[in-house]
Amino acid sequence: MGFGESITRVLNRLFYKKHVRIGIYGPPNAGKTTLATRIARDWGATSEGKISPIPHETRSAGKVENLEIIAGNGHSVTLDIVDTPGVATKVDYAEFMEYGIGKEEAIARAREATEGVAEAMHWLREDIDGVIYMMDAAEDPFMQVNIMMIGIIESRNLPVLIAANKIDLPDANPQHIKRAFPQHPVIPISCRDGTRIDELYDAIVQTFR
Amino acid sequence: MDGVRIDLISQDRFVMLSAHEKAALVLSIVRSGTIVILENGLTPEEQAELIEMTMSEIMPGEFSGIEIETYPAPSKVRGKGVFSRLLGQDNPPRLTVIGPANQIKTIRKDPDMISAWVSSQIE
Ligand SMILES: Nc1nc2c(ncn2[C@@H]2O[C@H](COP(=O)(O)OP(=O)(O)O)[C@@H](O)[C@H]2O)c(=O)[nH]1
Ligand SMILES: [Mg+2]
């Protein structure tokens, strides 16, 4: 905070061409933590996010700081990546119990999840310079939360890149996402096996530089 | 559709309220188990407010949040980007239905019910 922090900011401004804070947003289970983990690994950092089939496993932010991502054309961007809890309009503790989690723990998780979502919405207003919006390409892109979130991000004039994840799944249809959101770059990827991940890095540099 | 209560909020009733007041009004109605229909939808800023406020109102076992549907379905609307279609100035506002989580399903199964209901209310 205070003086120390502002010195760091100034130094960052001097030494890095651009230092931006990017939030990974999207519905629960789209693969946001998997992407944050992969980005950290590919660019020599660590992240502590937990990848899980249980929705709302990420209930507070995971951060990967000071990453330099270099595109195929040699351009680069220095970023902080914030892995956010998935945004939803409902959180039902009974859903956690379907994964064999006890009632008390399920209620505690639900409470943390609601706080996490509120926090993620708050960052979008204050602390984020750009968004990687992640969707599961095997799900309906017109899911209400996607439409609302893309609209909210657009209304704040934040640059957004859509990652159409899980293209390794037989039902994946990234084309459907492209048709739904033609106003934004859509990059089909698989975070699980790394398919086309380099195209995502190129797009990150191009969009957030 | 027995036992489903619906409250239509007209533009007149809504227009003077702040984003915060709109979200609070919608949530108080939805929390009582009633489905709300907004004649003119919500702006992105108002939607963000509604999501944040919903999160603070969720009480395990009592209230698990909301579901939102907009009509007509976005996939059926033609034009440029989804959201500019949804809320752009030159586009007609879309009817928005907000209900308690897990109750909207009843409506989704029978979207004609909503349009029939709405046209019987708005002349
Ligand atoms: N098939 C497939 N599964 C994925 C992929 N990326 C993530 N997953 C799985 O999707 C689930 C949710 O992933 P996670 O990263 O925790 O999602 P988050 O809730 O958005 O952070 C986990 O079971 C992941 O292993 C992918 O590219 N392909
Ligand atoms: Mg996560």
Å between B57 CA and nearest CA of chain A: 9
Q: Using DSSP, state whether A57 is helix, strand or coil.
A: coil
A64, A140, A163, A171 from A175: Cα distances, Å: 30, 11, 12, 12
- What is the band of B103 on the pLDDT scale with cuts at 50, 70, 90? confident
Q: What is the pLDDT of residue A171?
A: 97
Domain range annotation of chain B? 6-118
Q: Got the DSSP string for A82-101?
A: EEPPPP-SB--HHHHHTTT-
Question: Does residue A19 lie in a domain region?
Answer: no
Question: Does residue A102 lie in a domain region?
Answer: yes
Q: How many domains does chain A have?
A: 1
Cβ B64–A90 below 8 Å, yes or no? yes
Residue identifier of the C-alpha nearest atom 11 of ligand 1: A53
Which residue ranges of chain A lie beneath pLDDT 50?
1
Residue identifier of the C-alpha nearest atom 1 of ligand 1: A166
A7, A54, A105, A107, B58 from A95: Cα distances, Å: 46, 9, 12, 10, 14
Question: Does residue A136 lie in a domain region?
Answer: yes
Q: What is the pLDDT of residue B1?
A: 46
CATH number at residue A48: 3.40.50.300
In angstroms, how far is CA A149 from the centroid of its own chain? 12
Ligand 1 contact via A136 beta carbon (within 6 Å): no
Residue identifier of the C-alpha nearest atom 23 of ligand 1: A53
Q: What is the pLDDT of residue B26?
A: 97
Q: What is the pLDDT of residue A180?
A: 95
Q: What is the pLDDT of residues B48-88, one digit of tens each?
A: 999 999 999 999 989 999 999 877 655 444 444 444 444 44
Q: Got the DSSP string for chain B?
A: -TT--EEEE-HHHHTTS-HHHHHHHHHHHHHTT-EEEETT---HHHHHHHHHHHHHH-BTTTB-BEEEEEES-GGG--SS-HHHHHH-TTS---EEEEEETTTHHHHHT-HHHHHHHHHHH--
pLDDT over threshold 80, residue B102 = no
pLDDT over threshold 70, residue B120 = no
Residue of chain A with shortest Cα separation from B100: A90
Cβ A90–B86 below 8 Å, yes or no? no
Residue of chain B with shortest Cα separation from A119: B52
Å between A142 CA and nearest CA of chain B: 7
Q: What is the pLDDT of residue B117?
A: 64
Specify the CATH number for B6-118; select among 1.10.10, 2.20.28, 3.30.110, 1.25.40: 3.30.110
Q: What is the pLDDT of residues A114-158, one digit of tens each?
A: 999 999 999 998 889 999 999 999 999 999 999 999 999 999 999
Higher pLDDT, A91 or B94: A91
- Cβ neighbour number for residue B36 with a 10 Å cutoff: 22
| Domain coverage including residue A123 | 24-208
A24, A110, B7 from B28: Cα distances, Å: 31, 21, 12
Question: Does residue A1 lie in a domain region?
Answer: no
Q: What is the pLDDT of residue B95?
A: 81
